[in-house]
Structure 1
Amino acid sequence: MASIIRAVCLSHLSCDLPRENTLGREPNRIDSLTLPFSAKKYLGQLSGSKQPSIWTSSSLDPYVNLSIEEYLFRKVEVDRPILLIYRNRKSVIIGRNQNPWQESNLEELERQGISLVRRRSGGGTVYHDEGNTNYSIMLPRDQFERRTNARLVANAVQEMSIDRVNVTDRYDVCVGDRKVSGSAFRITAKRAYHHGTMLISSNLAQLKGALRPTPNMNIVDSKAVGSVRSPVTSLVDSVTNDINHHSFVQHLCRAFSKHYYPCLDHPINPQVVIATVIQTISFGNSMSGLIKNDFVRAGYEELKSWDWIFGQTPQFTRVFEIQRDDQTGLIPVQVTYKNGAIIEIKIDDHLLQTDSSIQQKISSRFSLGDRIDF
């Protein structure tokens, strides 16, 4: 399998790296994901580059793609606009400050084989599949403006002969009154990015099933940021002509280059594969040789960890009900979690006095420091 890595630069000189047969020594190995040596070397060279670029990732792994995004954001010079485009396998992506149990049906995700991912930016929860194209526009801090980038994406959609395209006050891109693209943002002292989704041909039924709260959680208080629910549609439902990932990528790259590089004679060529990886459906538990770039590998490991996905959950409180010994009713118990672990257990003192067995039942079921069990 040939791995090709290209950069598309302002001069329109394609920088093709040597082709390598990355599977030559292990033709039957499909349980790991390898960043070829040339890709590793090129990522290092790019961190000092001054050229603008459009990147696409061939991986469908959400943890890999968000780690590549973080590499671009943190390690590449911030003196010019960068566009990253990728797709993910079935996954639910929650915002940095959200509660996964409130935002998604974790039982449904497990049944359907849908990955749960906590991203590093704020904002609400979104559903990804291969019918959904993701983009990330990275800019120097002083060039960043939310509406400008949302309008850029809207222009790309309009150029696909789709009518009634508009940008809302929340910087969503809509066709009529239905959302096709939601956005989230991350801003630091010197740089910022605007990343979002484009529903092209996503499975909307699965989207709706996944983006429901986990049942029977009985959450009564939460410091997490909640998603704003909106009616959605896909681009394929808005037009009669053929629309797919590749046609959207062409129009998005054209809109990006037209806005940020108006001096160019023609749009930046989007036919690139940056940070090419050998992808598999399941990566298993082994990280051996997974990603050669240390920064990307560390990001991948963090995003997949329990401590990040669940342990970063803002404080919240659930109510449990414990049956009285005399079967005369249920006693409510409030359990508060922070970083995914119990920090407080509360019950009405009067109820403890009326049923001496309650304290024993509580102690056998809950302990301070226990991780949440759903």
Structure 2
Amino acid sequence: MIPIVNTSHDPHFNLALEEYAVRYLDPAHNYLILWQNSPAVIIGRYQNTAEEVHQLYLAEHQIAVVRRLSGGGAVYHDMGNLNFSLIVSTQGQSFNDFRSFTLPVIETLAHYGVKAELSSRNDITIEGQKFSGNAQYRTAHHLLHHGTILFDSDLDVVSQVLNVRQDKIASKGIKSVRSRVTNIKPYLPKDVTLEAFSATLATIIGSHNQGLEPAYAWSPQDQAAVMDLVARRYGTWDWNWGKSPAFNLTAHEKFAQGSIDVRLFVEDGIIHACRIYGDFLGQRDIHEFEAALIQQRYQLDTVAPILEALPIEEYFGAISRQEVLQVLFDTSPAQ
């Protein structure tokens, strides 16, 4: 197995690197990538991005959103999270065989005296709490298996950014199933760093794959091809947001100055219908406000400047712009 050394922490680049490896590297070889992302939410291939994340929280904390090739649910990455990617030949390899790919992780923890187990089709747990989610993607010649390992991630952020009121959005997107999660650091000997754990994991993965060969010789052409994938796919709104399934959003909030009830229909990430009801004390026809949102991206970065340019107090009375955004992007956490 050939290690690919990746020191990038850019989630757009890192997801593009995975696709480049699984599609274009020599299928006669298997590859291993161990990598970390700066704060980001990684969305499953068939998910509705707006249904999975709090957009206002993302913007406030500068957390990126990137869609991956594989299915499954949304996950939060930060520098306390270790990701592992295995790119192997499809010859004789069964798709959805998660056990053989997760066994090295379980053995690595056993090496440090920690008992872990594959508790479902694609999750690894310690004492019933999930620390690793896994997913796969297949091309004609390569199978990509990738997984997360919560080493010392900020679990408070996980609960904030992914704790969404899904009952208010109706779509055909694959919903994430929230599980009790844990970091593995509290279970490990105190002197085990993420770097040491990563090195042990690489060695054990290699032992399952006839050993580790010298690292992949990264070329300028490889770098350029990955950056091209970032430009064409992973860095674009169309891929990360626009590929979401169509959905209807119903949101209601009551403020001291009145209530707002919003109904949106969003398709390909674009607002196609908008109706707003409530007992707010506006002076202007609310249909003017609704019309300003039609054919706009359902994205905070797009809608917020539109609201800045509108006389909000004439439409909603004493209800503020920030409160209107709160309803439109439904930032209230699930209970």
- TM-score (norm. length: structure 1): 0.68
For 1:365, the equivalent position in structure 2 comes to 290
For 2:135, the equivalent position in structure 1 comes to 184
Q: 1:242 to 1:361 in 2, by over 3 A?
A: same
> Match for 2:137: what amino acid?
R
Quote the Cα distance in structure 1 between the aligned partners of 2:259 and 2:56.
26
Quote the Cα distance in structure 2 between the aligned partners of 1:365 and 1:162.
56
Q: CA deviation at 1:273?
A: 8.1
For 1:208, the equivalent position in structure 2 comes to 159
Q: CA deviation at 1:345?
A: 5.5
> Match for 1:365: what amino acid?
E
Q: 1:85 to 1:364 in 2, by over 3 A?
A: same
Given the alignment of the two structures, is residue 310 of structure 1 paired with residue 241 of structure 2, yes or no?
A: yes
Q: From 254, 265, 268, give the equivalent of 1:339.
A: 268
For 2:19, the equivalent position in structure 1 comes to 70
CA contact (8 A) 1:67 1:299 kept: yes
2:87 partner SS: strand
For 2:205, the equivalent position in structure 1 comes to 256
Q: CA deviation at 1:245?
A: 2.0
Quote the Cα distance in structure 2 between the aligned partners of 1:137 and 1:186.
11
Q: CA deviation at 1:246?
A: 1.6
Which whole-Å deviations, capped at 9, do the CAs of 1:158-212 have from their partners, x for residues lacking one?
Answer: 222212x100222211111111111111123332111011111111122222222
2:101 partner SS: helix
Q: What stretches of structure 1 of length at least 5 have no aligned partner? A: 1-51, 262-266, 278-290, 323-328, 349-359
> Match for 2:290: what amino acid?
R
Quote the Cα distance in structure 2 between the aligned partners of 1:218 and 1:61.
32
Name the stretch that deviates more: 197-206 or 95-104: 95-104
1:182 partner SS: strand
For 2:182, the equivalent position in structure 1 comes to 233
Given the alignment of the two structures, is residue 104 of structure 1 paired with residue 33 of structure 2, yes or no?
A: no
Q: CA deviation at 1:307?
A: 1.3
For 1:224, the equivalent position in structure 2 comes to 173
Quote the Cα distance in structure 2 between the aligned partners of 1:331 and 1:235.
43
Which whole-Å deviations, capped at 9, do the CAs of 1:297-339 have from their partners, x for residues lacking one?
Answer: 12112212111221111111013679xxxxxx98966431111
> Match for 2:228: what amino acid?
A
Quote the Cα distance in structure 2 between the aligned partners of 1:89 and 1:258.
29
Larger helix fraction of residues:
2
Q: From 281, 285, 298, give the equivalent of 2:228.
A: 298
Quote the Cα distance in structure 1 between the aligned partners of 2:260 and 2:147.
45
Q: 1:321 to 1:260 in 2, by over 3 A?
A: closer
CA contact (8 A) 1:315 1:337 kept: yes
Which whole-Å deviations, capped at 9, do the CAs of 1:344-374 have from their partners, x for residues lacking one?
Answer: 45799xxxxxxxxxxx633541465332244
For 2:80, the equivalent position in structure 1 comes to 131
For 1:152, the equivalent position in structure 2 comes to 104
For 1:355, the equivalent position in structure 2 comes to none
Quote the Cα distance in structure 2 between the aligned partners of 1:371 and 1:174.
38
Which whole-Å deviations, capped at 9, do the CAs of 1:229-286 have from their partners, x for residues lacking one?
Answer: 111111111133322222222222122111121xxxxx5278x586599xxxxxxxxx
Q: What stretches of structure 2 of length at least 5 have no aligned partner? A: 278-284, 304-328, 330-335
CA contact (8 A) 1:201 1:244 kept: no
Given the alignment of the two structures, is residue 53 of structure 1 paired with residue 53 of structure 2, yes or no?
A: no
Residue-pair matches, total: 289
Q: 1:276 to 1:57 in 2, by over 3 A?
A: farther
Quote the Cα distance in structure 2 between the aligned partners of 1:179 and 1:330.
39
Q: Identity, % of aligned pairs? A: 29
Name the stretch that deviates more: 333-342 or 123-132: 333-342
> Match for 2:142: what amino acid?
R
2:26 partner SS: coil
| Greater radius of gyration (CA) | 1
Matches within 5 A, 1:158-177: 158-163=110-115, 165-177=116-128
Quote the Cα distance in structure 1 between the aligned partners of 2:131 and 2:3.
22
